[in-house]
């Protein structure tokens, strides 16, 4: 491995901290891979080897997990990962047009990274934000109700070093590696910043509350299932 001693020691200590959260240490592999990304910017061969050693797995077993989940990069990427949803509803509402504009504007295709290392662009499957379609995610933060113009403005703001705020979430978009550390389970202190849900997401809840609707009791659900 090419990690220097200080980095390797810190990773091993934080791996142990993550593993302590789970009854079985192997269950810690996903957050451990996020932690590797927070250091290397992607799931590096060195990171795979260190995870394998820590959990008593083979590098092949760790690689099998890292290649299954799309949040894990296998090659270096940009400081900002721009994911344009082009699944059905977002595509109908303009997701494809947004992707094409960004691809032209950045000069890269799906999965490409700009020469300055600032942006990686990709098509993504449903972001579970259909009520705000079309959606662009930057480092897993939501930018809702986008247009080709607003998406290129997002790029311009990040290029200029501005504090760009997601539609929902923290007041400042953080880098890919910063977010990766949060996904590894280390508190960033930002959970209370910004709105987490808006009126479209809460509409069903509000109707149910206004109508006095309640979910069936557990015993009633059981009887229905038995029939």
pTM > 0.95: no
Do 22 and 126 lie in one domain? The reply is: no
Do 83 and 14 lie in one domain? The reply is: no
Do 30 and 119 lie in one domain? The reply is: no
Residue 120 lies in a domain: yes
Question: In this model, does residue 80 exceed pLDDT 90?
Answer: yes
Residue 62 lies in a domain: yes
Do 20 and 93 lie in one domain? The reply is: no
CATH of the domain at 47: 1.10.10
Do 62 and 166 lie in one domain? The reply is: no
Coil, strand or helix: which one is 116?
coil
Q: How far apart are CA 181 and CA 10, in angstroms?
A: 13
> Residue holding tokens 């229905």?
224
Please count the structural domains in the chain.
2
pLDDT digits (tens, 9 = 90+) for 81-127: 999 999 999 999 999 999 999 999 999 999 999 999 999 999 998 88
Residue 138 lies in a domain: yes
Q: How far apart are CA 146 and CA 96, in angstroms?
A: 11
Q: How far apart are CA 9 and CA 60, in angstroms?
A: 23
Do 114 and 201 lie in one domain? The reply is: yes
pLDDT attached to residue 95: 96
Give the domain extent around 131. 79-174+195-227
> Which residue, 132, 83, 117, 87, is CA-closest to 103?
83
- Whole-angstrom CA distances from 45 to 29, 140, 220 are 15, 24, 52
Indicate the helix (H) or strand (E) that contains 121. Answer: strand 119-124
Question: In this model, does residue 227 exceed pLDDT 70?
Answer: no
Do 56 and 83 lie in one domain? The reply is: no
Q: Using an 8 Å Cβ cutoff, are 15 and 48 in contact?
A: no
pLDDT digits (tens, 9 = 90+) for 139-197: 999 999 999 999 999 999 999 999 999 998 899 999 999 999 999 999 998 888 887 77
Confidence of residue 222 (pLDDT cuts 50, 70, 90): low
Do 34 and 10 lie in one domain? The reply is: yes
Q: Return all residues near 34 (Cβ < 8 A) that are at least 6 apart.
A: 71, 72, 180, 181, 183, 184, 185
Residue 109 lies in a domain: yes
Question: In this model, does residue 15 exceed pLDDT 90?
Answer: yes
Domain boundary among 35, 66, 97: 66
Do 111 and 53 lie in one domain? The reply is: no
Residue 188 lies in a domain: no
Q: Kindly give the pairing relationship between strand 119-124 and strand 80-85.
A: parallel
Bridge partners of 138, per DSSP, are 82, 141
Residue 180 lies in a domain: no
Q: Using an 8 Å Cβ cutoff, are 168 and 152 in contact?
A: no
Do 119 and 204 lie in one domain? The reply is: yes
Domain boundary among 44, 66, 88: 66
DSSP state of 142: E
CATH of the domain at 93: 3.40.30.10
Do 46 and 84 lie in one domain? The reply is: no
Q: Using an 8 Å Cβ cutoff, are 96 and 60 in contact?
A: no
């Amino acid at each position: 491995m090419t990690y220097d001693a200080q980095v390797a020691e810190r990773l091993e200590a934080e791996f142990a901290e993550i593993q302590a959260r789970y009854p079985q240490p192997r269950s810690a592999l996903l957050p451990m891979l996020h932690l590797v990304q927070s250091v290397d910017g992607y799931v590096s061969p060195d990171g795979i080897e260190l995870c394998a050693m820590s959990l008593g797995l083979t590098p092949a077993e760790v690689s099998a997990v890292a290649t299954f989940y799309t949040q894990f990069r296998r090659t270096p990427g940009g400081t900002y990962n721009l994911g344009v949803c082009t699944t059905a509803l977002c595509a109908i509402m303009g997701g494809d047009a947004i992707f094409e504009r960004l691809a032209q504007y950045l000069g890269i295709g799906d999965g490409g990274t700009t020469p300055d290392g600032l942006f990686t662009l990709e098509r993504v499957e449903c972001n579970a934000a259909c009520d705000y379609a079309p959606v662009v995610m930057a480092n897993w933060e939501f930018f809702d109700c986008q247009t080709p113009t607003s998406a290129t403005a997002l790029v311009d703001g990040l290029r200029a070093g501005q504090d760009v705020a997601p539609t929902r979430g923290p007041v400042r978009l953080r880098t890919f590696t910063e977010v990766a550390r949060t996904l590894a389970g280390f508190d960033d202190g930002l959970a209370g910043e910004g709105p987490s849900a808006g009126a479209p997401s809460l509409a069903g809840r509000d109707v149910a509350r206004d109508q006095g609707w309640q979910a069936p009791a557990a015993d009633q659900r059981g009887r229905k299932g038995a029939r």
